Chain A
Amino acid sequence: MSQFFTLSILVATLASGIRLAVPYLIAALGETIGQRSGVLNLGVDGVMLLSAFFTYWTVLETGNMWLATAVGLGVGLVMGLIYAVVTVFFHATQGISGIGIFLFGLGFSELMFRKQVGAPTPVDKIAEVDIPLLSKIPHIGELFFQHDLLIYFAFGLVPIVSFMLRKTTFGMNISAVGENPQAADSLGVSVAKTRFAAILLGNLLAGLAGATLALQLGLFQGNLTNGLGFIAVALVYFGAWRPTGVMVGALLYGMVQATVNQLKIQGSIPQSASDIAAMAPALLTIAALAVLAGRIKAPSALTRPFSRA
């Protein structure tokens, strides 16, 4: 146990937690935007899988990570377009439509992988970018300033999304159509257009989350996300639909995973308790949700399709 508290191990564990948290964070930020507009998307995991595959495949074929990231974003955008048409224009039930997107993503990404790649084939991972000077600070540098660009970008997104939701007209329209679409409509805000845009943005970020996963692992295989997208949806509730809350939730989830892992490595968690310990992040999230349930308020129109009477 004492070894865990050596500084180098502690830093390595926290850095691992940050890496694990990032795909959750990006996907959950996107889902936050969508849910604030009143649209639940349970298809996040499917979008991530599709994006992860096409990102990976692009790297495999071209070696160009920027192009691959763009492809991943594009996949998110296309899936967002489909979801927006189905839920906003055709008023389809959001829960079922989202599950459909998930199943499609799960199956199609697997099918494409089998047809186009076959066996697991590693590709180059996205490289770490050391921030000049800051990365040289002992321990702090390793923890915060020796990551890949997507990690910096993910945490940079938190204030950007927060600012967008709270300070811009578009962001306030999103909240308005998520809380009271009838009132927003009566004030001249296009509920359909606002929700459409929010869904596109949300799926764009789900696509980025999938791309991040593929680029950080340098791999793809079926069900690569392992349900990560569903955890991201839960983290939106955990974070009370606020970007900073979502970030705290994602970091907590990643940190608990990394800490449990480290304690297992050092034998502090016996193998007989390994399966119980593996549930710790999920149990913690459920416990937090149970505690917070009475204190947080979901967007009033969440999951409710809007149509003019």
Chain B
Amino acid sequence: MRNATKLLLRLLTLFAALALITAACGDSSGDDGGDSASSDDGGSSDDDGGSSDGDGGSDSDLSVAIVAPSASDDLAFTQSMVESVRALGIEPQITDGTFIVEDAAAAIRGYAEDGVDVVIAHGTQYGGSLEEIAPDFPETSFIWGTATDTKGLDNVYAYFPEAEQGGYVNGVMAAQLTDSGTIGVVGPVQAGDAVAYIEGFTKGAESEGATVNVVYTESFSDVALAAETAEGHLANGADVMTGTAQMVVGAVNVAQENDVLWFGTQANQTDLGSDVVVASQVYKWDAVLETMFSQIEDGTLGGEAMSINLANGGLAIEFNDGFDLPAEVKTLGEETVAGVIDGSIDPN
């Protein structure tokens, strides 16, 4: 009996250790990851100097860490930040999958304690933690978003996308491509840039006479519900769809299967549905990061909120080269972009 108890204890210990290790490496937010992740402190980490695909515009000597709620190659929110930092010639340390705010807070504090110059807290939900952590590390610069204010902290920068701009452009083009006149939108929780994108999209599509049916599934991670929402849109006659956040992979798959057109946002979603993705609004955070990094190197560690938009190149409409988009629609899209930039079109 004593041997059995010992064996049980050993097994339980081993099992608990395995569970903790794998859970720590995992992601409770609901998306995927990259093939270059390596384990680090509290989430999956990617600090192995993977590919730097940017133009190296900054070539900063700053050390940068990113803490983000979803995976670093989610084809959406987190990937857009990782790619933007890499575009500046910096290979960031990454702790992704920190959907649980306490985990993120531990990672943010850990990077600051390690002496990282810039810690990017890539999630609106991390604001409360940052309010507690940032004052403890006055020599560290924290970059937080999406957010429109810096919580009054001198070592915090904030960033946010004016996602309604690209949403409007996508909506205008979508309205040109629908035969039924009905467009479906698969949204997540009603918060942040998801609402801005969807409202901009709706306004753009309705300005061209289309009917837009919007559903917020109230989940960032329920892929099955997103897929069924897309099926529901099809049953209601939609022949063009869009959506935002990580769970849209299910909806894009439904679009691809039914040959229904799709407009993406956050990252280029062509890989999810190469036959049906028409265009994607892509976040290029480097448009503001470059300014922030430059100011940090000059000694200004924060105190300012900056937005990415079509005018500063932080938002870009990327077309799927494999999709045969009628020239007049593409032209209309480009004209709409120009109109938003010069102020003749108001997407709000």
- The CA of A271 and the CA of B12, in the complex, are separated in Å by 47
Q: A221-B31, A224-B30 are in contact. Are A119 and B216 (CB under 8 A)?
A: no
Q: A108-B22, A271-B216, A274-B190 are in contact. Are A221 and B249 (CB under 8 A)?
A: yes
For the complex, is B19 an interface residue (Cβ under 8 Å from A)? yes
> Which residues of chain A are within 8 angstroms of B28 by Cβ–Cβ distance?
106, 222-223
For the complex, is B174 an interface residue (Cβ under 8 Å from A)? no
- Tell me if A's interface is mostly helix, strand, loop or mixed: helix
Q: Among B97, B249, B256, point to the contact of A110 (Cβ < 8 A).
A: B97
Q: Are B22 and A107 in contact (CB under 8 A)?
A: yes
Which residue of A is nearest B5, CB measured?
A90
Which residue of A is nearest B25, CB measured?
A111
For the complex, is B332 an interface residue (Cβ under 8 Å from A)? no
For the complex, is B133 an interface residue (Cβ under 8 Å from A)? no
Which residue of A is nearest B32, CB measured?
A221
0/1 interface trace, chain A 109-121, chain B, CB 8 Å (1 if under): 1110111111111
Q: Are B33 and A114 in contact (CB under 8 A)?
A: yes
Q: How far is the CB of A96 from chain B (nearest CB, A)?
A: 9
Q: Among A213, A226, A275, point to the contact of B221 (Cβ < 8 A).
A: A226
For the complex, is A278 an interface residue (Cβ under 8 Å from B)? yes
0/1 interface trace, chain B 20-44, chain A, CB 8 Å (1 if under): 1111111111111111010000001
Q: A119-B73, A265-B236, A271-B216 are in contact. Are A111 and B184 (CB under 8 A)?
A: no
Q: A110-B27, A111-B44, A217-B253 are in contact. Are A226 and B219 (CB under 8 A)?
A: yes
A-B contacts at CB below 8 angstroms, number? 198
For the complex, is A13 an interface residue (Cβ under 8 Å from B)? yes
Q: Are A119 and B236 in contact (CB under 8 A)?
A: no
Which residue of B is nearest A92, CB measured?
B12
> Which residues of chain B are within 8 angstroms of A13 by Cβ–Cβ distance?
232, 235
For the complex, is B246 an interface residue (Cβ under 8 Å from A)? yes
- Residues in chain A within 8 A of chain B (CB atoms): 3, 8-9, 12-13, 16, 19-20, 23, 82, 85-86, 90-92, 100-101, 103-104, 106-111, 113-122, 125, 213, 216-224, 226, 228, 257-258, 261-262, 264-267, 271, 274-275, 278
For the complex, is B4 an interface residue (Cβ under 8 Å from A)? yes
Q: Are A19 and B32 in contact (CB under 8 A)?
A: no
Q: A9-B236, A122-B256 are in contact. Are A219 and B249 (CB under 8 A)?
A: yes
Q: Among B7, B37, B218, B253, point to the contact of A278 (Cβ < 8 A).
A: B218
Q: Among B29, B228, B252, B253, point to the contact of A261 (Cβ < 8 A).
A: B228
Q: A219-B249, A271-B216 are in contact. Are A107 and B19 (CB under 8 A)?
A: yes
> Which residues of chain B are within 8 angstroms of A122 by Cβ–Cβ distance?
249, 252-253, 256, 272-273
> Which residues of chain B are within 8 angstroms of A216 by Cβ–Cβ distance?
224
0/1 interface trace, chain B 191-215, chain A, CB 8 Å (1 if under): 0000000000000000000000111
